[in-house]
Amino acid sequence: MKTFSEAVQYMYSTIPQTQKTKFPAQLGLVRVKRIMELLGNPQNKLSIIHIAGTSGKGSTATFVSALLTAHGKKTALHVKPHFIDIRERLQINGQMIAKHSFVTVLQTVRNALIHLETDRYGSATYFEILVAMAYQWFYEKRVDYAVIETGLGGLFDGTNVINNSDTVILITPIGLDHTAILGTTTTEIALQKAGILHNKNITFSSDQYQRVQKIFIEAAKKKHATLTFITKGQNYKNVRVTRTGTHFLYKHGGIFIPYVLGTIGTYQAQNASIALACIEYVSKRDGWPLSIKQTQLTLSKTTIPGRFETIVYKNKLLILDSAHNPQKVRAFIHTLEKIYPQKITYCLAIKNDKNSHAMLAYFLAGAEHIVLTEFAFETVDMPLISSPADKLYDHIPNAYKPLVHVEPDQKKALEKAVALSSGIVVVTGSMYLLAAIKALFLKKRRNYL
């Protein structure tokens, strides 16, 4: 394996194909622990901020990474999934790993995998290998901090192999998602997410449902961890959104300081606030000065791919947002209606394991038109497929059916939505639909150049 292309093809060969290998639960975690042992446990030599939750993990991770980088700290970031390039998952100071470095680090991990007792542990999967690569590369580069987003859940997640009491834990809002794997209630899901708390970890959580708070408080007690909830009114307030950003006040040392985020969404104030709480703690613990002016400037310039991302196309405003569960859709539409009160045309695809009925209900309420489309991916963590567009259409109430159109082809669906729209098109429902649409725009740009 000498080229990046060969490395990517190898990674494709490790994508799990069966339900048992897609979600190996405890066996997967034990396997990653063994892989990390074979690598010398680089994860335990890093200063880590570990992030779990149902909504806002990626945004919070991006905020934390940007703030640390802006204060001169060499900061690693591991997020999932990626939109275009697998290397998006391994970043330092906002820059993806170089292709040649990706090959080198992957070969290091493969050399370790030679000694993995597959008869006992099974074969390493795509996600597990990327996790191992992230920890290995971040250690090799001697980063000051590594910001790690969990993949799925927490307790049995492949990233949950850190044995370091200095790890800072962040938990974003908990809701219903991946219910077939994590549980069908928020309390069951919270128990899974709380699994990333370990002995004496400092933990910050967004405000949660009361029943979820109880789960986290109990988990923190068992692990002798310090848990702080970052709540609206107490830690941040006066949240409002405009077409250019999100405004709010955050309490630094008893004084509320104004912030304007470069990202749009009332929920982004919540994500930024937990990131700010983390940075305040880490700067005090590690003895470096926190600049309020720098935090304000950094957050005003930080944008997040696929989160209220805007593109002007054929004189229409396209908004790309990765809302992919009812909790996220509700929050997204709440913001959308505040700044764009007119009817909206949607281009939608929804993954086949999501609560599509609840999601569609939110979209239909303010829709000018909806174009239902599809996606299928075989080159990410696991084979992924959307609900068939015609099946989604069958569940649309008759009163709304004149507004809804079926077009399985993504490119044609986007063009149809643009043609139908009176001004604004929202592409949403799945991160994987966004990945496909962003790839189309990238191809257009390359053809133009």
Q: What is the mean pLDDT of residues 308-330?
A: 92
Each residue of 286-307: pLDDT tens digit? 999 999 999 999 999 999 989 9
Which residue is it, tokens 């929920």?
267
Backbone angles phi, psi at 65, to 5 degrees: -60, -45
Q: What does the pLDDT read at residue 177?
A: 60
Q: What is the dihedral of CA 83, 87, 90, 94, to 10 degrees?
A: -70
Domain count, the chain: 2
Domain boundary among 270, 301, 332: 301
Q: Let me know whether 66 and 112 are in one domain.
A: yes
Using the predicted structure, report yes or no on whether residue 69 has a pLDDT greater than 60.
yes
- Supply the CATH number for residue 369's domain: 3.90.190.20
Which pLDDT score is estimated for 63?
Answer: 98
Same domain, residue pair 364 and 276: no
What region does 146 belong to: left with phi over 0, alpha with psi -120 to 50, or beta? beta
Q: Are 299 and 285 in contact (CB under 8 A)?
A: no
Given pLDDT bands bounded at 50, 70 and 90, which one contains residue 19? low
Predicted local distance difference test score (pLDDT) of residue 448: 42
Predicted confidence at residue 243, as pLDDT, reads 93
Res 237 pLDDT > 90:
yes
**CA–CA dist 418, 203 (Å, integer):** 45
Nearest to residue 342, comparing CAs of 312, 323, 319? 319
d(CA 440, CA 267): 29
Residue 22 has pLDDT above 70, yes or no: no
Q: What is residue 426's predicted lDDT score, i.e. its pLDDT?
A: 97
What does the block give as tokens for 430?
A: 């799945």
Token pair of 79, please? 């997020």
Predicted confidence at residue 83, as pLDDT, reads 87
Predicted confidence (pLDDT) at residue 154 exceeds the cutoff of 60: yes
How distant, in Å, are the alpha carbons of 56, 243, 327, 343, 360 from that of 337?
20, 11, 16, 9, 16
Q: What percent of the chain has pLDDT over 70?
A: 94
Please give the average per-residue pLDDT across 228-232, as a whole number: 97
For tokens 């090799």, name the residue: 140
The pLDDT tens digits of the residues spanning 346-372 come to 999 999 888 899 999 999 999 999 999
Instruction: Kindly state the percentage of the chain with pLDDT values over 90.
Output: 78
170: domain range? Answer: 4-301
Looking at residue 126, its amino acid is Y
Q: Give 288 or 20, the one with higher predicted confidence.
A: 288
Per-residue pLDDT at 259 exceeds 60: yes
Do both 263 and 382 map to the same domain? no
CATH number at residue 200: 3.40.1190.10
The tokens of 117 are what? 């007792």
- pLDDT reported for residue 87: 97
Per-residue pLDDT, 265? 94
CA atoms within 13 A on the CB side of 383: 6
- Same domain, yes or no, for 248 and 368? no
Which strands make up the sheet holding 424-428, listed edge to edge?
Answer: 309-313, 316-320, 424-428, 344-348, 367-372, 404-406
Using the predicted structure, report yes or no on whether residue 236 has a pLDDT greater than 80: yes
* Residue that the structure tokens 């764009």 belong to: 340
Task: Give the chain's count of helices (H) and strands (E).
Answer: 17, 19
| One domain, residues 64 and 120 | yes
Q: How far is CA 217 from CA 70, 73, 147, 191, 312, in A?
A: 32, 31, 23, 11, 46
Q: What is the pLDDT of residues 331-342, one digit of tens each?
A: 999 999 999 999
> Is the model's pLDDT at 33 over the cut of 70?
yes
Task: Indicate the residue among 252, 275, 301 that finishes a domain.
Answer: 301
H or E segment to which residue 76 belongs = strand 75-78
> What is this structure's pTM?
0.93
Question: Is there a single domain that holds both residue 110 and residue 209?
Answer: yes
Same domain? For 88 and 195 the reply is yes
* Same-domain pairing of 359 and 240: no
Work out the angle between the directed axes of helices 431-448 and 410-420 (0-180°, nearest 10).
Answer: 90
| Averaged pLDDT for residues 398-402 | 96
Find the mean pLDDT for residues 163-190.
81
CB atoms < 10 A from the CB of 445, how many?
9
Q: List the beta bridge partners of residue 428.
A: 348
Distance CA 343, CA 349 (A): 19
Tell me what the pLDDT averaged over the chain comes to. Answer: 92
Residue type, 255: I
Final residue of a structural domain among 275, 301, 327 = 301
> Are 249 and 171 in a shared domain?
yes
Quick check: 444 pLDDT over 70?
no
Element at 442 (helix H, strand E): helix 431-448
Residue 446 in this model has a pLDDT that exceeds 70: no
Side-chain half-sphere exposure of 339, counting CA atoms within 13 A: 17
